[in-house]
Amino acid sequence: MRVTWGEPNVKWCEATLCAWVNEPANAWSNLAYLAVALGCAWRWRVTSSRAMGHFAWTTLLVGALSFAFHATNNFATQLLDFVGMYVLAFLLVALNLHRLGWLPRERVGAVHTGLTVGCTLLVPVMRLAGVPYQLVVLGAVLVIVGTEVRLSRRKEPRESYRDFWLAVGLMAAAAACSVADVTRVWCDPDNHWMQGHAAWHVLSALALLFTARHHAGLEAQAVAPS
């Protein structure tokens, strides 16, 4: 007997198979996050960069939980998928608030945990209300971009934002692919090699790589002798 945990609030284009991995393209494309996580872990080992260490484990978590969701396609694993995204997104939110001087360093962990737990608990409420909980992730991304833009306008320290803007461009392309998938503009349900949402995974993983490089660069500048 198959145990059901309820349907997710979105059905991506890829046809759901009766197999251990329900959506092969959408599931296996999460290996892109694993590749980025391993790259960040290697850089962390070589340079001892805390930023690379943060991105190594958070990106690995995002990929693992997203794989679990697309392999099983139910609400319980979709909730876990959002936990992974919240952990990563709200870590960046908390760190940026600290960089702006709005949040003391010792409060970063508490704010990160509070936002992650609070928004996870909010998902079932939004589900009952019929509100797309994807909006929380969108809001977090807008806060991250907005705070980075504010920080980029500061003259001191002079920071390179090339990697950040590359990440924004990749994330925009990723979002376009995912929207094309869910709206069926790009849709071939029987293609289990490439889907719009699978492209989202690959492009957003690359965006995280450049975001990691951006934060590692900021960290290196902060410790460099003046």
Per-residue model confidence (pLDDT) at position 142: 96
Q: Average pLDDT for residues 122-149, to the nearest whole number?
A: 95
Q: What is the pLDDT of residues 148-163, one digit of tens each?
A: 999 988 755 556 789 9
Pick 167 or 158 by higher pLDDT: 167
Q: What is the CA radius of gyration of the chain?
A: 18
Q: What is the mean pLDDT of residues 5-31?
A: 94
Instruction: Give the span between the Cα atoms of 95 and 85, in whole angstroms.
Output: 16
Read off the pLDDT of each residue in 158-186 and give the average, rounded to a whole number.
Answer: 93
Average pLDDT, integer, range 201-215: 97
Of 109, 81, 117, the residue nearest 93 (C-alpha) = 109
CA distances (Å), origin 144, targets 10, 60, 88, 167, 183 = 25, 20, 11, 12, 26
3-state secondary structure of 223: helix
Query: Mean pLDDT throughout 119-142?
Result: 95
pLDDT per residue over 179-191, tens digit each?
999 999 999 999 9
- Residue 2 is predicted with a pLDDT of 41
Query: In the predicted model, what is the mean pLDDT of residues 46-75?
Result: 96
* Neighbour count for residue 137 (Cβ, 10 Å): 16
What is the DSSP-derived secondary structure letter of residue 107? G
- Could you give the CA distance from residue 195 to residue 26 in angstroms, rounded to a whole number? 7
pTM score over 0.75: yes
